[in-house]
């Protein structure tokens, strides 16, 4: 990759040219029929916009030729621009100049609630490096593939603590099934008899199957590249500020006399901010293969799947279910989860990881008239925007870390995986 380069370009936003023309037509007197014309024009000038970009150069690698690895890098760009310019309109005013003439004034040009040349662009909303590093750490913690272990631990712990229906009484399932076998036929329809027992067993079986699938997926991803993304909720805010009172539409050249009959209004600035943050990364981890405890869990999961897929009667449940598996499941699962947690220590690294942020600050200026005055097509808002895009790169072990700060063990892990600081 080539070192970062800073590029800056300037844009010029022109707001157009307006013209005021006057025609005086004599309707009486010695000059009757004579038409006198005058015209003047002026430009609003321009407002400078800028864009600054800091980026590295990277060779292009196609995914069609295999996994390209980390082909990105840090990136920053901020841009200031006019999102909506003043609109153009034509205004006609005709008035008598007694007793000899009729005067017609015409304005053809841009109109805006404020003179855009006098405005400044809104400030940038970009986060600092430390804030992005903190957000990146949060994103990794929420989406890393080894979270399967933590999720399963919490999942099983909640089952033991809060319980599915009658879970605390799973040791009594055998006795309850025996009573159902010995009861009369109508017992099967009793609301608080057989049906609650079937629901308890099936809910418990679903929990076992689900936890087994989570742990199995964790083992299948061992040593593979696992891609993850995480998006934070979009942050939006809107605020209003009185920018100017007793204001009229601004024209160039000045034609405020055209609006002498229209009440003045208030210029309101509405500031809208949007912050969008997300993470994208590719993880890999290593854990020893083979576990007798996992084999036991696999057997329990198969038994649970049978219970989920069969029409249960007291006889089938009695013949199918070896009741000890409900106890073995929990004692066995705790050992498996403990082992997986230990194996994951220092074994999780990122082949690449990036924290991205896109922020927009938009200032809209509009002229609001007093009550009872209808707005016209000349009242379109003037909108200025500052937009920033950032991308921060992570170290294989997280954000805010440097290669020089890695331990000997961490460097050895990266070397074994073929990850170097040049990637």
Greater pLDDT, 79 or 218: 79
pLDDT for residue 397: 79
Report the 10 Å Cβ neighbour count for 304: 24
pLDDT for residue 151: 56
CB burial string 198-214: b at 16+ within 10 A, e below: bebbbbbbebbbebbeb
pLDDT for residue 235: 97
Q: In 3D, which of 218, 217, 209 has the Cα closest to residue 299?
A: 209
- Does the pLDDT of residue 334 top 70, yes or no? no
Counting residues of the chain whose pLDDT is more than 70, the rounded percentage is 68
Most confidently modeled of 314-318, 393-397, 400-404?
393-397
State mean pLDDT over 356-378. Answer: 78
> Residue 166: pLDDT band by 50, 70, 90 thresholds?
very low
State mean pLDDT over 230-243. Answer: 96
Distance CA 79, CA 58 (A): 23
Instruction: Tell me what the pLDDT averaged over the chain comes to.
Output: 78
pLDDT for residue 385: 97
Digit-coded pLDDT (tens) for 338-355: 565 555 555 678 888 999
Distance CA 139, CA 357 (A): 13
DSSP 198: H
Distance CA 333, CA 298 (A): 11
DSSP-derived 3-state class of residue 272: strand
pLDDT for residue 224: 84
**Strand pairing partners for 94?**
104
State mean pLDDT over 41-52. Answer: 89
Q: pTM for the whole thing? A: 0.73
Greater pLDDT, 416 or 41: 41
Most confidently modeled of 18-22, 54-58, 260-264, 306-310?
18-22
Q: In 3D, which of 284, 180, 265 has the Cα closest to residue 225?
A: 284
What string of DSSP letters covers 2-63?
A: EEEEEEEEEEEEE--EEEEEEEEEE-SSTTTT-EEEEEEEEE--EEEEEEEEEEEE-----G
Most confidently modeled of 194-198, 220-224, 380-384?
380-384
Digit-coded pLDDT (tens) for 130-143: 999 999 989 988 88
Q: Is 154 left (phi over 0), alpha (psi -120 to 50) or beta?
A: alpha
pLDDT for residue 268: 93
Q: In 3D, which of 226, 353, 350 has the Cα closest to residue 280?
A: 353
Digit-coded pLDDT (tens) for 25-38: 998 888 888 888 98
Residues 6+ apart with CB under 8 A from 112: 15, 86, 87, 249, 250, 365, 382
Digit-coded pLDDT (tens) for 170-205: 667 777 777 777 765 555 555 556 777 777 777 777
- Does the pLDDT of residue 399 top 80, yes or no? yes
- Nearest-10 Cα torsion for 283, 289, 295, 298: 20
Q: In 3D, which of 277, 241, 10, 266 has the Cα closest to residue 134?
A: 277
Digit-coded pLDDT (tens) for 262-319: 667 899 999 999 999 999 999 887 766 555 556 666 667 766 766 666 677 777 777 7
Distance CA 285, CA 419 (A): 13
pLDDT for residue 81: 95
> What would you report as the CA-atom Rg of the chain, rounded to the nearest whole angstrom?
37
State mean pLDDT over 103-115. Answer: 88
State mean pLDDT over 215-239. Answer: 87
The torsion angles phi and psi of 333, rounded to 5 degrees, stand at: -65, -40
DSSP-derived 3-state class of residue 190: coil
Domain locations in the chain? 2-417
- Does the pLDDT of residue 163 top 50, yes or no? no
State mean pLDDT over 10-24. Answer: 89
For residues 120 and 361, the answer to whether their CB atoms sit within 8 Å is: no
The torsion angles phi and psi of 79, rounded to 5 degrees, stand at: -140, 140
Residues 6+ apart with CB under 8 A from 36: 23, 24, 26
- Nearest-10 Cα torsion for 399, 403, 405, 407: 110
What string of DSSP letters covers 309-368?
A: SS---HHHHHHH--THHHHHHHHHHHHHHHHHHHHHTTTEEEEEEEEEEEEEEEEEEEEE
pLDDT for residue 323: 67
């Amino acid at each position: 990759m080539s070192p970062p380069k800073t590029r800056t370009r300037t844009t010029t936003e022109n707001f157009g040219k307006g013209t005021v023309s006057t025609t005086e037509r004599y309707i009486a007197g010695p000059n009757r029929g004579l038409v006198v014309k005058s015209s003047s024009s002026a430009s609003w000038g321009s407002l400078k916009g800028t864009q600054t970009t800091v980026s590295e150069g990277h060779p292009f690698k196609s995914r069609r030729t295999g996994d390209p690895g980390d082909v990105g890098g840090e990136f920053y760009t901020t841009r200031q621009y006019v999102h909506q310019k003043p609109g153009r309109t034509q205004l006609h005013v005709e008035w008598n100049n007694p007793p000899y003439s009729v005067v017609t004034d015409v304005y053809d040009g841009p109109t805006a609630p404020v003179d855009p040349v006098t405005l400044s662009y809104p400030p940038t909303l970009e986060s600092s490096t430390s804030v992005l590093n903190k957000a990146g750490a949060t994103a990794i913690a929420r989406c890393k593939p080894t979270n399967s272990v933590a999720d399963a631990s919490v999942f099983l712990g909640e089952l033991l603590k809060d319980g599915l229906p009658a879970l605390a009484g799973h040791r009594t399932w055998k006795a309850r099934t025996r009573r159902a076998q010995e009861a009369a036929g109508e017992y099967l329809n009793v609301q608080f008899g057989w049906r609650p027992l079937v629901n308890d067993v099936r809910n418990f079986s679903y929990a076992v199957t689900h936890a087994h699938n989570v742990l199995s997926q964790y083992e299948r991803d061992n040593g593979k590249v696992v891609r993850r993304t995480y998006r934070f909720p979009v942050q939006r805010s809107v605020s209003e500020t009185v920018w100017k009172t007793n204001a009229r539409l601004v024209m160039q050249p000045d034609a405020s006399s055209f609006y002498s009959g229209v009440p003045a209004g208030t210029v309101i600035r509405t500031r809208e901010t949007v912050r969008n943050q997300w993470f994208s990364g590719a993880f890999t981890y290593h854990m020893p293969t083979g576990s007798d405890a996992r084999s036991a869990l696999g057997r329990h999961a198969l038994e649970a799947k049978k219970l989920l897929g069969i029409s249960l009667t007291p006889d089938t449940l009695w013949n199918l279910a070896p009741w000890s598996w409900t106890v073995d499941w929990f004692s066995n699962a705790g050992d498996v989860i403990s082992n997986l947690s230990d194996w994951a220590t220092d074994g999780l690294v990122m082949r690449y990881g990036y924290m991205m942020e896109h922020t927009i600050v938009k200032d809209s200026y509009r002229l609001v008239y007093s009550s009872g005055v209808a707005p016209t097509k000349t009242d379109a808002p003037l909108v200025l925007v500052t937009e920033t895009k950032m991308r921060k790169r992570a170290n294989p072990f997280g954000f805010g870390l440097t290669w020089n700060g890695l331990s000997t063990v961490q460097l050895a892990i990266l070397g074994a995986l073929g990850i170097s600081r040049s990637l």
